[in-house]
Structure 1
Amino acid sequence: PLYITPFVTAGASADNLLNANESAYVTDRSYTREIGLDLKQTLGSNLTLDLTFNTDFAQVEADDQQVNLTRFSLFFPEKRQFFQERAGIFDFSTGRTDRLFHSRTIGLSEFGPVPILGGGRVVGRIGKWDVGLIEMQTARASFDDDGSTEVIPTENFGVLRLRRRVFNDYSSAGGIVTSRVDENGAYNVAVGLDGTFRLFGDDYLTLQFAQTFDDQVDFDFDDAALTRLWWERRTQAGLSYRGGMTYSGAAYDPGVGFSTRNDYWSPRLGVGYGWFPGENSSLRRVSVGTLGRSYNRRTDNSLESAFWRSDLSLEFKAGHNVSLVAQYQLDDLTEEASFPEDSSVPAGRYEFLVGEVSLRMPPGSTIRGQGEASYGSFYDGTRAQISISPSFTPSSHLELETTYEFNHVDFSSRDQSFNVHVARLRAQLGFNTKVSLNGFVQVNSAANLVSTNARFRYNFREGNDLWIVYNDGLNLDRERERPFLPVTSGRTLLLKYTYTFIR
């Protein structure tokens, strides 16, 4: 069948911006009146086409607030359903968060959302091939950035992913191509090949190669490449191991992906052992392991950073899980590193030890969640960290999810210290099968901000919805800057109505 979903959005926003001479904040009011169209067509038993025009993601939940206590960019997961559906087909992960394709590069920027004029995606299977295709066009957008105007040109994004099983049911190989071209002719193209092969038993070999091309960089094959080799034994019982090598050139830059660092070579090695104690034990599984990794500068082979961690994990039959971790870390700073509240760490080589304990409760209980605490050295100081994430289901109509994260960092030798608090509360209230209200309130002490995201939904029938979305940013410690900050950084109220026809 063909699903045709026209929609209309209307709303108003008020953003408080610094004026041209930076003497006061002024309110910039804007109004939204848009229409758009989404189409979904089933092309076969396992292939789907999605088309979108004047795309709108008003009903998507706000991002989780994070505080960066590292030298690298923060990773934010994708929350937009258009990109989430069967996203695994596009997966080309090259590390913990690094990936050749990250859909958040489309329609989102460091300054805010970028309008999407339209596009399409095809996902599914054709014969023996997993197929993923994305083509999107964004509009030109301008943003106020502390009194100056940042203009983002209109861009075209393309992704093609192919993968199929080879040799046996547990092995696959494929490739990916991504492209990003703007109206001025600037471009970034990435090409990747990958394969995961079950060699014997539980042993798997993963091979990856990626190459990027950018108009701003003179092409050099080695300098713009990433190569990754990974061998692991996947088992919960007995001996497991994993190890490999990653190489990244200085000019490697996936423009439609996410990469925390480049210009390095990195070996990694880990071993573990797990066992099941048996019927008479309260423990379901016990595992111990150790893992080490180093990052070495490609230019002179000097050590940039390294870590080595050992852990003990106890999984109980009741569903609880307790983990103990000890970690050694080395970081060689070539320049000063900045942290909240004007704290900083001078360039130099630092070694630190950290101990961590974590607890995860059974997922099916009325009260569930997880928590962790850690303490140890942090560059030339110390860091204490606590995180708890309890969830409650008081009734069939209400679900509450809470998170509280606390970090205390102390650089006593330089008379510097700071505390960081991040709190989140999600409330999902279902009045009945048609009416629901989702609230998401966050407090971030590093940003001195309380953000609110509320989403009301009335479902007339399947595919026919009314959304009312409210966003607000409340400034804390308004007198920390001159001129004084306004009460709110901005407010937005949006209404979205969708109606689906089936042909």
Structure 2
Amino acid sequence: MKLFRILFPCLFICTALFAQKKNEAYQYHIRQTQPTDRTPHIKIDGVMDEQAWLEAETATDFFMALPMDTSFAKLRTDVKMTYDQQNFYIIAVCYYPRRPDSSWANRPFVQSLRRDWEFQKNDNFIFFLDPFDDQTNGFTFGANAVGAQWDGLLYDGGRANLSWDNKWYSVVKQYEDRYVFEAAIPFKSIRYKKGITRWGINFSRNDLLTTEKSSWAPVPRQFPTASLAYTGSIIWDQAPPQVGPNISVIPYVLGGLSRDYQSEKPTAFRGDAGVDAKVAVTSSLNLDLTVNPDFSQVDVDQQVTNLDRFELFFPERRQFFLENGDQISNFGYANIRPFFSRRIGLGVPIRFGARLSGKLNKDWRIGLMDMQTGKVDETGLPAQNFAVMALQRRVFSRSNIGVILINKESLNYEPELGKPTYSKYNRNFGLEYNLASSNNVWTGKVLLLKSFDPQNSNRSLVHAANLLYTTRKWIIGWQHEYVGQNYSAEVGYVPRRGYVKFNPTASYLILPKGGSVLSHGPQLSSVHIYDESFRKTDSETMALYTTTFRSKSVFSVWASQSYIRLLAPFDPTNTGRDTLARGTEHRWKTIGADYISKPQSLFTYSFSARYGGYYADGTRLNLATSLGYRFQPYVSLAMSANYNEIRLPEPLSTAKFWLVGPRIDLTMTNSLFFTTFVQYNEQAKNVNLNTRLQWRYAPVSDLFIVYTDNYLPGSLSVKNRALVLKLTYWWNV
């Protein structure tokens, strides 16, 4: 707690030192368009021929963010905005440079026509809206150079959650010397507060041929252009319109067949229906409702080789949990999450749920959620209720204080003889302070958590804090954690308990003035973990050197030294073989290298390799690669492969296993997508085939056909098989 007394005042001091918005001088004055016979409604066609565009201001003279941030951008980009009573309109003209050589044959560079593509692998234009001008939360929209849309929620000052989709309209039109992005964003699709006449905004352009990334309001190269700390401002000529009743109803119907071949059960038919609804309580506060939701169309998780002693984390992909989900789901740290929404509906049906989330005003955010799951007779799992309340208050310019209360309750439950026993309730209370200075140089967090359940009360506290200093050349950080042995978060993700952890990091960046190298430099990190008696259980010290080339390819080499004292018996191959005894100590050294090729090539690749010691004086060799080829913009082929060879002394077993995942993405149009993904996991003894056809026949309305197979490796005999057809429709009331 001594560190807490030192770090907590430092966080407040750092916040107070930087209290003014950085890009206050970058302002865009937006005026309402009034359609008449002479100035008709804006048509979203990529042609700037309406009178409203001729009369609108132009944002131009973008600044370069990469490869350097010390000059104006070489590529010209012009942006105009206007609005009417229903929509916010934007048009961006992205000029190409003169055509110097044959590399123009592949222009533009894009992955596919699929929505929410990877930023670094596409020529694109995107923009960032901060309707509360609080430099913390907002929205992002845009498209790549062939018109594939990008939209997402911004949180934590500039991180993007691209799993969020909403209804809006855009077109990209190609010309000889430019491409033009034009879009209409309905005011009903975003959240903002009545009467506010200043919003934060920034525009970003990425061009792979020149490797230039630029933005309208300048952003230092060490931060993403999505960083809301560096937005300019939209100055509205009057407060944005209130759009009246804003209710969306999203019903679905589903039919499916499934069969479990291993248990020799007959084919089962499944028919189902449900509905989601979105109700705008105010223009900045949203109520989400769901009855009998189904998430069968959600992308399959990408499997990983698991050699860890603790549970792995897979992110939430279900749409219902995403909007404003950061306030609840991101409470805490990556490995100390008191709430993790994937715990809800894990192998059990969700009957209904409700979530109220958004802004009460510029300083206050609220998140309330209640979910009800059904009973599972086969296992004795009772019906359960999950309730969450989170409240957040902004302090200083961009920092905030948040509280959270989580309650998991088993309803009408009494344990049954011969069946697993479940807890009657589990509750968590948390308090955190999030630091973010106005220029983003100082960031950090202080966290306190306490759990309550019938069995445990002592040693059920969590305390953690971190502080990060980021400049163009230096990144220096400190983090420490304490998790009590009896801390319990049944609706959270806390893979380890009963430890104290210290984690200092430092890196330095060298920026050459010319040549093929853009930047290079070392990074040093160290992790030390102790039990509650302050006896060391784990440590790892790593030295890393990274070189980034102007082509955007990246090469890294590293070396590490590790120590582990096992707290429980452990199979170091995670294949169900021999285990090492609890209390045994293991030390080893490892070296490794990683390379990522330049993204503008049609053929892209990456590789990583590591070799060194392992548990019980053994050795581990790991080789991994990822290959990709695209036939722009319709076909994208990918192959990932991961090989592990673990050699252990007698009498322990040696293991060799592959994880291979070929993938085909076919995007026939901006609304018709076909994906086939195969995963051969030798460690898990499973081959998975997942095929999905998606037809977006109307905005945010889809037909899905999903086919899934699981096989045994070697014989390829079928374990189980399923076919699902699902239809959704987004209906605005």
Q: Secondary structure at the match of 1:6?
A: strand
CA contact (8 A) 2:547 2:556 kept: yes
The more displaced of 437-446 and 398-407 is 398-407
Out of 228, 252, 257, the residue aligned to residue 12 of structure 1 is 257
In structure 1, the partner of 2:635 is 398
CA contact (8 A) 2:705 2:724 kept: yes
In structure 1, the partner of 2:724 is 494
Residues 1:227 and 2:459 aligned together: no
Structure 1 segments of 4+ aligned residues over 6 angstroms from their partners = none
Out of 667, 678, 693, the residue aligned to residue 456 of structure 1 is 693
Which structure 2 residues correspond to residues 176-191 of structure 1 after superposition, within 5 A?
A: 176-183=404-411, 184=413, 186-191=424-429
- 1: CA distance, partners of 2:545 / 2:267: 55
In structure 1, the partner of 2:476 is 241
Render the CA deviation track for 1:468-493: whole Å, top value 9, x for unaligned: 11111011245xxxxxxx92111111
In structure 1, the partner of 2:87 is none
Out of 299, 302, 309, the residue aligned to residue 71 of structure 1 is 309
Deviation, 1:303, is: 1.1
- 2: CA distance, partners of 1:357 / 1:150: 47
Residues 1:295 and 2:529 aligned together: yes
CA contact (8 A) 2:397 2:437 kept: no
Out of 390, 401, 421, the residue aligned to residue 173 of structure 1 is 401
Residues 1:163 and 2:397 aligned together: no
TM-score where L is the length of structure 2: 0.61
In structure 1, the partner of 2:684 is 447
Q: State which structure, 1 or 2, has the greater radius of gyration over its C-alpha atoms.
A: 2
CA contact (8 A) 1:308 1:327 kept: yes
Residues 1:367 and 2:603 aligned together: yes
CA contact (8 A) 1:236 1:275 kept: no
Alignment-mate amino acid for residue 256 of structure 1: V
In structure 1, the partner of 2:352 is 118
- 2: CA distance, partners of 1:152 / 1:354: 45
Alignment-mate amino acid for residue 116 of structure 1: I
Residues 1:211 and 2:450 aligned together: yes
Which structure 2 residues correspond to residues 39-118 of structure 1 after superposition, within 5 A?
A: 39-92=277-330, 94-108=332-346, 113-118=347-352
Cα distance change on mapping 1:134 and 1:200 into 2, 3 Å: closer
In structure 1, the partner of 2:30 is none
Cα distance change on mapping 1:189 and 1:364 into 2, 3 Å: farther
Deviation, 1:27, is: 2.0
Deviation, 1:434, is: 3.6
- 2: CA distance, partners of 1:92 / 1:463: 26
CA contact (8 A) 1:319 1:362 kept: yes
Render the CA deviation track for 1:109-156: whole Å, top value 9, x for unaligned: xxxx321111122332221223333221111235xxxxxx53322211
Deviation, 1:244, is: 3.2
Residues 1:428 and 2:673 aligned together: no
- 2: CA distance, partners of 1:387 / 1:131: 43
Cα distance change on mapping 1:398 and 1:121 into 2, 3 Å: farther
CA contact (8 A) 1:341 1:418 kept: no
- 2: CA distance, partners of 1:453 / 1:501: 29
Q: Secondary structure at the match of 1:89?
A: helix
Q: Secondary structure at the match of 2:327?
A: helix
TM-score where L is the length of structure 1: 0.88
Structure with higher strand content: 1
CA contact (8 A) 1:155 1:181 kept: yes
In structure 1, the partner of 2:374 is 139
- 1: CA distance, partners of 2:528 / 2:587: 13
CA contact (8 A) 1:190 1:255 kept: no
In structure 2, the partner of 1:276 is 511
In structure 2, the partner of 1:152 is 381
- 1: CA distance, partners of 2:666 / 2:368: 36
Render the CA deviation track for 1:340-393: whole Å, top value 9, x for unaligned: 262433441000111111112334442335321111101120001111122332
Render the CA deviation track for 1:130-183: whole Å, top value 9, x for unaligned: 3333221111235xxxxxx533222111222222321223x2221222221122
Cα distance change on mapping 1:317 and 1:330 into 2, 3 Å: same
CA contact (8 A) 2:329 2:341 kept: no
Q: Percent of aligned pairs with the same residue?
A: 26
In structure 1, the partner of 2:247 is 2
Deviation, 1:395, is: 2.6
Deviation, 1:249, is: 0.7
In structure 2, the partner of 1:318 is 551
Out of 109, 130, 136, the residue aligned to residue 365 of structure 2 is 130
Cα distance change on mapping 1:286 and 1:44 into 2, 3 Å: farther
Alignment-mate amino acid for residue 603 of structure 2: I
In structure 2, the partner of 1:22 is none
Cα distance change on mapping 1:219 and 1:28 into 2, 3 Å: farther
Runs of at least 5 residues in structure 2 that lack an aligned partner in the other structure: 1-245, 414-422
Runs of at least 5 residues in structure 1 that lack an aligned partner in the other structure: 18-24, 143-148, 479-485
Alignment-mate amino acid for residue 158 of structure 1: A
Deviation, 1:228, is: 0.6
Deviation, 1:186, is: 0.9
- 1: CA distance, partners of 2:670 / 2:549: 36
Render the CA deviation track for 1:182-221: whole Å, top value 9, x for unaligned: 2227111111111122579833442110111112x2322x
- 2: CA distance, partners of 1:282 / 1:93: 41
In structure 2, the partner of 1:482 is none
Deviation, 1:458, is: 2.5
Out of 262, 282, 296, the residue aligned to residue 497 of structure 2 is 262
The more displaced of 194-203 and 302-311 is 194-203
In structure 1, the partner of 2:625 is 388
CA contact (8 A) 1:382 1:409 kept: yes
